[in-house]
Structure 1
Amino acid sequence: MIKEIDKKNELTDLKIKHLKPTIRIEKDGSEKLVVNQISDTKIKGLYLTVKPNNNKLWEFRYTSPTKKNRRRTSFGNYPDVSLLKAREIGQKYRELLANNIDPIDNKKEELKLIDLNTKGKIENAINEWLKKESLSTTETTHKSKKMIFNYVMEFFRKENIIYVNEIKLFDITKLLQEKEKTAPETASKLFNYIGNFFKFCVLKGYCESNLILNIRKKDVLIKKEVMHMPKITDIQILKKLIVSIYSNKEGSISIQNALKLVLHLPLRPENLANLKWEYINFENRTLIIPRAMMKVKNKNLADFFLPLTDNVIEIWRGNINSYSELKDSEIK
């Protein structure tokens, strides 16, 4: 039961509306508005702080049961947080203290849990992982991964699985084996991607373990027999191929020249298709491709450097007028 003296000083909505900042008389006789702090008589530790700008802020002050120091936390302005609501929050904090739980630390844990529950959703976790992966992969590879994981997200939506920590090993094997029916090579890639994705999720706290860490790919997927094209070892056949490429008049000038360049430049198809004029120095007869555009993106390695032969220079110079009319800077 509240004492009479407490009843008299008890906070009410009417009293709060009339609360003003404290007026302090300075040494020169001038007046200055300063913070006015009023404690609630119902909930120990609950304060209403009236600031010089007349904003009224709810605070809770207490001695931490774990750190043993004085702490304070605020939870909104009046009237956005009503007197009744402030007392409910204050009472909750008193109950936490009675159980040796620090209210501020408890709030941090609650927010962390909410954050994990949001980011730990499969779709959010995949998008976060893909964003990180994009920093170390080529644009083409990233697009491929994104398409594959669009399938993954759709699969789990159909399975009604929302969070990463809800995924079971059975779900992963089902995902991989269903994809294998229509795209065996993609399923093989997905096995590796899934492993890296779960490593990321374990690091972030979205799940406790990498489900396929100790699983062998060949135990989940049927190994596909790969038929490699035989290399050309017969000099006459190689000559015939070169003559065919140089005499070919079908297709655009870009295709004709790309086929010729394949014979002279030791580049991956992706690098060849995305060459830009700015990479070529005709005066020094060199090709320099930024390291970020190469498959190996180690920043400690220099940009890819390649001296150009007379044949390559001739191929590009012979059609430079046609290329200069292109709208973008890519050599197409």
Structure 2
Amino acid sequence: MARITKPLTNTEVKQAKPKDKVYTLSDGGGLQLRIKPNGSKLWLFDYRTPYAKKRTCLSFGSYPDLSLADARSRRDTARELLAKDIDPKEHRDDSSRLNETAHANTFEHVSAKWIEVKKANVSVDHAADTWRSLELHIFPSIGKIPIHKITAIKAIDILNPIAAKGSLETVKRLCQRLNEVMVYAVNTGLLDNNPLAGISKAFHTPVKNHLPTLKPEQLPELLKTLSYASIKTTTRCVIEWQLHTMVRPSEASGARWDEIDFDKHQWNIPAERMTSKKPHVVPLSLQALALLEIMKPISSRSEYVFVSDRNPKKPTHASTANVALKRMGYEKKLVAHGLRALASTILNEEGFDPDVIEAALAHTGKDEVRNAYNRAIYLERRKPMMQWWSNHIETAATGNLSLAGKQGLKIVSQ
């Protein structure tokens, strides 16, 4: 007949005195209280491991920090695991490791891993802008919080003050970026689900505003204003360069001398500098080449065509053209990116092939085979179009000072 162990009482546990040697008091079901000569009392669970059937002990904690009732509760949980052939000690160690990993994966830490993946699909400037927005708006509040503890309520609380200022576009972008980080966490096994999936629905949808640009008939006035503007030569050149080449502001400002092929009259922009993450070739008109000649005495010793005033080892900032246009009186009327829209409108109105225009703007669709075909075939067709566009700009500047004239700096006349 199996020996029946009499359960301990709270009084027995409390009054158990130390002896010369370690001894134990049994509560039954494998739960023991070990009393050491120094008076410390430790709860242990004595059991046989599943499969191997080796006898071992699992420490629950010390008394009185852990009461008799709490020790019994832990024993019962351990016995339930054993009934499922789960070693309670291994289960505790695994849970502890998972918990440590979860707490080490703060929102900022996971975001840093996510942005490294995202960089492969976006431009350098876009990645930097994305990270800055998180640093400014998100990390100060939840950056150090483990990602598994981020809730929709916490995220919405952060975004509410931004929405209250009317910055709904910022809120929209932050919602998208928060969700991208969370989806990354789900896909890498850090989360079971994305708790922020619907947070954008907690805010008003921003009214879509197209980037301001000019009408085709306003091009002469822009060139006249530009000719009289009190701006540095580099600033004026980068604005005209962007106008003639139809590229994005960051692509224009970051132009490097080693990207220019003077023999072939073309500009080879590497994939890492393009929004599409695909290399882009720009046929250079005579006027565009004239701009480069103007910049040679200024920046030929630098890596960059349009160098920063403060640091010749860096390019001028991508916002330089926007700041200049604003000072020239074009605030809310035209932004640097809008020069692309102006070029597109005029070229389409002149009857150029829309596919060739889209290729010049480095716009790509989802059909990768067609995109590759367009890049290969349309380059030759883009050359005369780009020269026509530069000639059109020069004609529009008639009577005004033009840096991109065929002979460089001159007064343009018909």
TM-score range for the pair, normalised by the shorter chain length: 0.5 to 0.7
Matched, 1:238 2:219: yes
**Structure 1 counterpart of 2:113, from 116, 120, 128:** 128
Matched, 1:268 2:251: no
The answer (yes or no) to whether the contact 2:156–2:199 under 8 Å persists in 1 is: no
Residue type at the aligned position of 2:156: T
The answer (yes or no) to whether the contact 1:130–1:146 under 8 Å persists in 2 is: yes
- 1:141-167 deviation per Cα after TM superposition (whole angstroms, max 9, x unaligned): 22222222223121237xxx8322222
User: Structure 1 312/166 Cα, relative in aligned 2: closer, same or farther at 3 Å?
Assistant: same
**Structure 1 counterpart of 2:230, from 225, 250, 258:** 250
Residue equivalent to 1:152: 138
Cα distance in 2, alignment partners of residues 64 and 287 from structure 1: 70
Please give the TM-score of this superposition, normalised by the length of structure 1. 0.60
User: Structure 1 111/292 Cα, relative in aligned 2: closer, same or farther at 3 Å?
Assistant: farther
The answer (yes or no) to whether the contact 1:138–1:295 under 8 Å persists in 2 is: yes
User: Structure 1 144/311 Cα, relative in aligned 2: closer, same or farther at 3 Å?
Assistant: same
Residue equivalent to 2:306: 331
Cα distance in 1, alignment partners of residues 280 and 207 from structure 2: 34
User: Structure 1 254/172 Cα, relative in aligned 2: closer, same or farther at 3 Å?
Assistant: same
Cα distance in 1, alignment partners of residues 142 and 235 from structure 2: 42
Residue equivalent to 2:154: 171
Residue equivalent to 1:188: 172
1:92-103, aligned counterparts within 5 Å? 92=58, 99=82, 100-101=85-86
The answer (yes or no) to whether the contact 1:277–1:331 under 8 Å persists in 2 is: no
The answer (yes or no) to whether the contact 2:266–2:283 under 8 Å persists in 1 is: yes
Residue equivalent to 2:128: 143
Residue type at the aligned position of 2:236: Q
Cα distance in 2, alignment partners of residues 293 and 234 from structure 1: 29
Tell me by how many angstroms 1:306 deviates: 1.4
Matched, 1:197 2:172: no
Tell me by how many angstroms 1:206 deviates: 3.0
Residue equivalent to 1:223: 205
User: Structure 1 229/65 Cα, relative in aligned 2: closer, same or farther at 3 Å?
Assistant: closer
Secondary structure of the 1:295 match is coil
The answer (yes or no) to whether the contact 1:121–1:163 under 8 Å persists in 2 is: yes
Q: CA RMSD of the aligned region, Å?
A: 3.5
The answer (yes or no) to whether the contact 2:122–2:274 under 8 Å persists in 1 is: no
The answer (yes or no) to whether the contact 1:184–1:224 under 8 Å persists in 2 is: yes
Residue equivalent to 1:322: 298
Tell me by how many angstroms 1:241 deviates: 1.9
Tell me by how many angstroms 1:140 deviates: 2.0
Secondary structure of the 1:305 match is strand
Residue type at the aligned position of 2:291: I
Secondary structure of the 2:281 match is strand
Instruction: Report the identity percentage.
Output: 15
Secondary structure of the 2:138 match is helix
Residue type at the aligned position of 1:193: R
Secondary structure of the 1:283 match is coil
Tell me by how many angstroms 1:226 deviates: 4.8
Secondary structure of the 2:193 match is coil
Residue-pair matches, total: 238
1:110-125, aligned counterparts within 5 Å? 110=95, 112-125=97-110
User: Structure 1 197/313 Cα, relative in aligned 2: closer, same or farther at 3 Å?
Assistant: same
- The unaligned stretches of length 5 or more in structure 1 are 1-62, 69-88
User: Structure 1 139/250 Cα, relative in aligned 2: closer, same or farther at 3 Å?
Assistant: same
Residue equivalent to 1:28: none
- 1:71-130 deviation per Cα after TM superposition (whole angstroms, max 9, x unaligned): xxxxxxxxxxxxxxxxxx96449x999933369975883475145323433332233323
Residue equivalent to 1:293: 273
Tell me by how many angstroms 1:222 deviates: 2.2
Tell me by how many angstroms 1:228 deviates: 4.2
Tell me by how many angstroms 1:289 deviates: 0.5
Cα distance in 1, alignment partners of residues 272 and 89 from structure 2: 45
User: Structure 1 101/186 Cα, relative in aligned 2: closer, same or farther at 3 Å?
Assistant: same
User: Structure 1 263/195 Cα, relative in aligned 2: closer, same or farther at 3 Å?
Assistant: same
> Which of the pair has the greater relative contact order for Cα pairs under 8 Å at 6+ separation?
2
Residue equivalent to 1:51: none
The answer (yes or no) to whether the contact 1:248–1:256 under 8 Å persists in 2 is: no
User: Structure 1 228/253 Cα, relative in aligned 2: closer, same or farther at 3 Å?
Assistant: same
Residue equivalent to 1:8: none
- 1:145-193 deviation per Cα after TM superposition (whole angstroms, max 9, x unaligned): 2222223121237xxx832222222222222222223443221110111
Cα distance in 1, alignment partners of residues 203 and 176 from structure 2: 12
Cα distance in 2, alignment partners of residues 226 and 311 from structure 1: 35
